[in-house]
Amino acid sequence: MARAIAESIGPGTRVGSTQEITPDVAASATLLVVGAPVHAMTLPTVRSLDSVGAHPIGPGEVPAEVGHPLMRDWVAELPYSDAPAAAFDTRISGLVGRGGVSALERLLKARGRRLIDRGAGFVVINRREIHQTASLLREGELARASAWGARLATLR
Ligand SMILES: Cc1cc2nc3c(=O)[nH]c(=O)nc-3n(C[C@H](O)[C@H](O)[C@H](O)COP(=O)(O)O)c2cc1C
């Protein structure tokens, strides 16, 4: 999702995990877009990632990357600035499918960031149940992410 959004924002947009892009480096961005999966109606915690990491995966499946800094800690470490920002999450559909974006927006605002658009939630279809580690995007969500990225580029 992040790559689709970044591509639509335009050339020169960097995309990476909380490991690859430090809060200090992100602080120099002219537009900061952050995203995370919804876990237990909010952002992932050490505990929720432990449960993802411990889940057995099938042959040929890419193991979940659970060793990166938590997004909640990463945003909290951003240098204070009123630079433009936006947030997104990935979630399953339905009533439990929210909470990531609102938590991210709260954290971004606490670091002074100016939210330039309503946060976006992109829906994944879990193959058996929500605790499955690997998920499939619902049809059309990648296109929606691209459209949102293009919109952010016009708003910044
Ligand atoms: C421990 C755990 C808790 C989850 N809790 C929720 C939840 O409360 N609401 C929701 O919409 N999705 C929930 N999900 C589904 C994830 O949001 C979904 O798998 C994720 O967005 C897909 O991204 P990923 O493949 O990068 O993990 C949960 C998944 C896990 C593993």
- In total, the chain counts a number of residues equal to 156
φ, ψ for residue 62, nearest 5 deg: -80, 125
Q: For the domain that residue 96 is a member of, what is the CATH number?
A: 3.40.50.360
For residue 119, tell me if it sits in a domain: yes
Is 38 touching ligand 1 by the criterion CB < 6 Å? yes
Give residue 93's domain range: 2-54+64-155
- Tell me which residue has tokens 């020169």: 12
Is 37 touching ligand 1 by the criterion CB < 6 Å? yes
**What is the number of domains present in the chain?**
1
Q: How far apart are CA 101 and CA 41, in angstroms?
A: 10
For residue 99, tell me if it sits in a domain: yes
pLDDT digits (tens, 9 = 90+) for 56-88: 776 767 777 888 999 999 999 999 999 999 999
For residue 59, tell me if it sits in a domain: no
Substitution candidate for ligand 1 out of 3, 18, 39 with most atoms within 8 A of CB: 39
Contacts 24+ apart (CB under 8 A), 64-67: 64/133, 64/134, 65/17, 67/19
pLDDT digits (tens, 9 = 90+) for 2-54: 999 999 999 999 999 999 999 999 999 999 999 999 999 999 999 999 888 88
Q: Whose CA is nearest to atom 18 of ligand 1?
A: 91
For residue 114, tell me if it sits in a domain: yes
